[in-house]
Amino acid sequence: MFNQKTLPSTQQNTSLQQRLQQRAENCFQSGLQALQMAHGQGFQDPLTVRRACEALIETIRLQREDLRPYLMLSYLFAIHEDFGMAWQYLLAAEQLQPADPDVLQFRRQLQRRQAGNDQPETEAEPVAPVAEAGVEPGVESDQDQAYLALELRLRNRIQALQRQVPAVVTANPSVLAELEEECQRFHEQQQRLAVRIEALAASHDTVGLYKWLEQLDQLWEPYEWALRQSRALTAFKHKIQQTQLQVLTLLRQSVAARSLAQIQQLERELEILLDQCDHFTHIQEALLRRQVPIDEVEPVYRNLLGQVDLFRETLDECLATMPDDL
């Protein structure tokens, strides 16, 4: 038996390459098996999907020239609507074999799927890599495929919402506008999903789908609450700012007052302002009871109180300097 150390370097390299190729093929077969299993489960088991991803990624690490794992990973990410990663692996495949028919076909399918993201997935689902892997497309009916695709879509949206950063109550108009747009998009998506579920009612039991749709509404409720409170907080801040402008006008009038009648009218305006400030205090207390943060409003309100105090002091000075014969 020859000692491997005595083999020529070319033979050693060949032997090493063969071992790497075998390890890569073993990883690929493991990924293929997990992918077939995930496909059979409608991609509902995250552990199976993860096993497939890990094995295919390891295949690429061992054998970067193999086209198959790139396409399969692109397919997996497209199924889960992570189009950024889907395109990343597809572009890597194109760099290897840009004219490969499977690569070209999958690019078209991925483009259709991304463009029709809110359409039934059966119209644009990239299936070429899975078909090559031995999963027979077309075994389920079109309605079955639509049901599985919609089920996966709902599950993915639920998971995405559970990971999403909670909405924050704000009196910032631009942030509020973004939150309003986000809520509008959510309701439009919910309506489209409801239409798709209704279309499946004749051929499938859709109770489970409606429950997931309801779960999405429940998960979104904190965003609706944040939107309602943000609108209330923004309106409250606007009222305070409008009152500030009114106080500035009254301050100018008090400085220019030359008669007792003018000062008495301004005193009546002061009483109205004091009542308004009491009303604003009650609004702040109500917001706090609803656990609405008022950090954006408090400084504006304190500034208003300072202006009202200045207005009152100015009136007192006017009265003190008013001639007695007036």
Can you give the residue ranges of every domain in the chain?
Answer: 9-136, 156-226, 232-321
Compute the radius of gyration of the chain from its Cα atoms.
34
Quick one: CA dihedral 3, 9, 12, 14, positive or negative? negative
Average pLDDT, integer, range 154-158: 84
Average pLDDT over residues 104-115: 83
5-21 confidence digits (pLDDT tens): 444 555 556 677 788 88
In this predicted structure, what is the pLDDT of residue 226?
Answer: 94
The CATH number of the structural domain formed by 9-136 is 1.25.40
User: Which range, of 56-60, 127-131, 146-150, 281-285, averages the lowest pLDDT?
Assistant: 127-131
Distance separating alpha carbons of residues 318 and 224, to the nearest angstrom: 51
Per-residue pLDDT, 120 = 39
Specify the range with the lowest mean pLDDT, choosing from 59-68, 279-288, 293-302: 59-68
Chain centroid to Cα 211, Å, comes to 21
- For residues 137 and 149, give the distance between their C-alpha atoms in angstroms, rounded to a whole number: 14
For residues 94, 98, 102, 107, the Cα torsion angle rounded to the nearest 10 degrees is: 60
Mean pLDDT confidence for 271-278: 95
Q: Is the pTM higher than 0.75? A: no
Instruction: Give per-residue pLDDT as tens, 173-225.
Output: 889 999 999 999 999 999 999 998 998 888 888 898 999 999 999 999 999 99
